[in-house]
Structure 1
Amino acid sequence: MKVILLKDVDGLGATGSVRDVKEGYARNYLFPRGLAVPATERAVRTLQHQQQTTAQRLQRERHTVEELAAALEQAVVEIRAKGGEGGRLFGSVTTADIAQILVERGFQVDKKQIALDEPIKTAGFFKVPVRVGQGIVAHVDLNVVAGE
């Protein structure tokens, strides 16, 4: 009996795959647990349509993410922070500070997307990695200026 898997099943396949299984396994295990449905022509067409729609949506999202990454790569952000002699800051510049500046400049970025190993405690130029999604990382040029 051919079935379409609705969820990942260990030893059988991934979500959306069409598999040939014994009828008893399908009727007594897969169907009652909502793991699969019979692979009728209509169900297969519906599955193909859903896969096409998902692929198109992912492609649109990827395009949007790539545009955001390109814009972030071009951006030069300046943050003024209180500091003393030698470029040392009183306090530090955190991911929240960087995210706030980026949002003010029109970028939709959350502080969790900014990948700083530790807060910035000195003045100067930094390349700050920003995870924009789908495995794409953009690097924003950050200029930290120590002021009074």
Structure 2
Amino acid sequence: MEVILKEDVNNLGHRGDVVKVADGYGRNYLLPKKLAMEATAANKAVIEQMKASAVRKSAKEKGEAEALVAQLNTLSLVFVRKVGENEHLFGSVTSADIAHELEAKGFNIDRRKVQLEEPLKQVGEFHVPVKLHREVTAHIPVTVKGEEAAAE
């Protein structure tokens, strides 16, 4: 099945691309979520307008993302968690925790944009990438401290 993407889809394509996908993926995921539309002759005529609009929208989003990166570069997050032997955490610091802390500081960033490969389970300093746009990524310093160290 051929579809025209209305939004960027990871590992598939960008807005305005005509891609060939499995029938089930197109019918059950892309079309109901309004991420794509069927590639009919009439829709292919509309694609040129969509591409021009997508370029303008992408440029605007990239500018906003770059401005947000400048604000995020001045920020650092600190998490205090209980620790056990060998400074191993009870629990972990996840992308949802990082997104929640950013929201508390006034930045509305979706947890799916926090590119944390696996939750942080050690005490230390980490640089966590936050993908704000496909070409713009911020790196936020995250410090995880043990609760005993904070009490002393």
TM-score range, shorter chain: 0.5 to 0.7
- Cα distance, 1:35 vs structure 2: 4.1
Alignment of 1:137-148 (within 5 A): 137-148=137-148
2:74 maps to: 74
Letter in 1 for 2:143: N
Cα 1:132–1:36, aligned 2, differ >3 Å: closer, same or farther? closer
Q: State the match for 2:42 in structure 1.
A: 34
Alignment gaps of 5+ in structure 2: 6-15, 17-39
Q: TM-score, normalised by structure 2?
A: 0.61
Number of residue pairs the alignment of both structures matches: 112
Give the whole-Å Cα distance in 2 for the aligned partners of 1:83 and 1:36.
57
Say if 1:35 and 1:61 are closer, same or farther in 2 by CA, change over 3 A: closer
Matching residue of 1:87: 87
Q: Highest Rg: 1 or 2? A: 1
Q: Distance between the aligned counterparts of 1:117 and 1:96, measured in 2? A: 13
Aligned amino acid, residue 93 of structure 2: V
| Identical-residue share of aligned pairs (%) | 32
Matches for 1:51-62 after TM superposition, within 5 Å? 51=52, 55-62=55-62
Contact residue 61 and residue 133 of structure 2 kept, 8 A: no
The alignment's TM-score, normalised by the length of structure 1, stands at 0.63
Give the letter aligned to residue 98 of structure 2.
Answer: I
Paired position in structure 1 for 2:110: 110
Residues 84/135 of structure 1: CA separation in 2 closer, same or farther (3 Å cut)? same
